[in-house]
Amino acid sequence: MKKYDNISWDEYFMGMAVLSALRSKDPNTKVGAVIVSPDNKVISIGYNGMPRLVDEEQLSWNKGEGLDSKYLYVCHAEFNAILNVQVGGTLKGATLYVTLFPCNECAKAVIQTGIKEIVYLDDKYATQINFQASRKMLELAGVKLRHFDGQSLDIKVKKNDN
């Protein structure tokens, strides 16, 4: 009988975040997020996309200028995962697994909901001011930040330019 090795919790949940990211229609940056309770139960999942009930065919996925910029419309994966929590659910003490380090706006939501740890796969915007602000706020709030290298899963995440 062949023995099978189990994957770690980190591998399992980050794998779910990567799979969730594939649901995104963003042509440049696909991001997925999974929120997990302290006892390793999935609380919620999200990916970056347009708001519900909005005809996304009427909005731009471009990086353009003015009203032609996706940045005005897209809900980030971690924000969607927070919003997808069932009524009465709590995020206090939870861990967020996310394929891209959160921006400053998502960091605020993470802090306000009581998430205590972020495990992230990529931090490609680390030099941008809003991501520096994110890291500063998260550290000041005592949110643990941990990079997941993805090599243990042989994750092949396409590194897109945004």
CB contact at 8 A, 46 and 2: no
Pair of tokens at residue 161: 């330019």
Which portions of the chain are predicted below pLDDT 50? 1, 155-162
pLDDT at 4: 65
**Region at 82 (left for phi over 0; alpha for psi -120 to 50; beta for the rest):** alpha
pLDDT at 161: 44
pLDDT at 153: 63
C-alpha to C-alpha distance for 140 and 161, rounded to whole angstroms: 29
pLDDT at 87: 77
Does the pTM exceed 0.75?
Answer: yes
**Residues noted as catalytic:** 78
pLDDT at 154: 60
For 110, half-sphere exposure in the C-beta direction (CA atoms, 13 angstrom radius) is: 35
C-alpha to C-alpha distance for 41 and 9, rounded to whole angstroms: 10
pLDDT at 157: 44
pLDDT at 159: 44
